[in-house]
Amino acid sequence: MSEQTPKPDTTHFGFRDVPKGEKRKLVGEVFSSVAGSYDLMNDLMSLGIHRVWKRYFTATAQVRRGDRVLDLAGGTGDIAALLRDRVGDSGTIVLGDINREMLRVGRDRMTDQGRISGFEYVQCNAESLPFPDASFDLVTIAFGLRNVTDKDAALREMLRVLKVGGQARVLEFSEVKADWFKPIYDFHSFNVLPKLGKLFANDSESYRYLAESIRKHPPQDELKQMMVEAGFARVDYKNLSAGICAIHTGYKV
């Protein structure tokens, strides 16, 4: 999945190596393109199961009423909406996303649902967060870490803005563990998904990149070690749906 290491001044953009400074622009173009069909994209990529994963991800998070939560790559607000009820009226959910179009979709969705109070919206880069140390009780990132250029920097920033005792949680597509399922999953990812993207969103290339980005994302044990090296304690992960995705958890001590 992440078997080929790019040159020091380059990084992965799907299966291509590109200059590090160019990846942010390319990823931004992808998500600006798919912002309006983001839920459809996740439905196509996960066969619709992403909604169940997100509910489990938020239901098992360490969060209480009155907490302040940062949801990175907050996109269209799915995670924020699920966490809002858990923090209650006295809590706050900060949606952070580097992409303005994704953030706009999330803000409009919350407004349309009558969810106005208790949310903040910040356009920010996960690698350099504009928040003071120890600002949040919980930091989450769902289906966004694989698109970050410097994942190690993002993990260190997540740790920095956490309060002592706080929890960080990463929900991300990962490495399928069932051998029998791998060829089925690969066929869906590289043959079916781009065609569905073309059919429903008139954008096959963005969907092709997203499938490739999953294969380049660090697999479960590698990401676990990255979190340990970033300074998190009690790091662990749980596979969902045979490893199609995984939840990684770490704490600040």
Which residue numbers belong to the known binding site for S-adenosyl-L-methionine? 76, 97, 125-126
State which amino acid sits at residue 223.
L
Q: What is the CA radius of gyration of the chain?
A: 17
β-sheet with 233-240: strand ranges across: 119-123, 92-97, 68-72, 136-142, 162-173, 245-251, 233-240
DSSP H or E segment with residue 173: strand 162-173
* CA–CA separation, 206 and 191 (whole Å): 14
Phi-psi region of 109 (alpha: psi -120 to 50; beta: other; left: phi over 0): alpha
Reference 46, options 220, 196, 203, 249; nearest CA is: 196
- Binding-site positions read 76, 97, 125-126
User: What ranges make up the beta strands (E) of 49-173?
Assistant: 68-72, 92-97, 119-123, 136-142, 162-173
Q: What is the four-CA torsion angle of 214, 217, 222, 225, rounded to 10 degrees?
A: -120
**CA–CA distance, 79 with 116 (Å, rounded to integer):** 15
Separation CA 247–CA 8 (nearest Å): 29
- Between CA 55 and CA 82 the distance in angstroms is 7
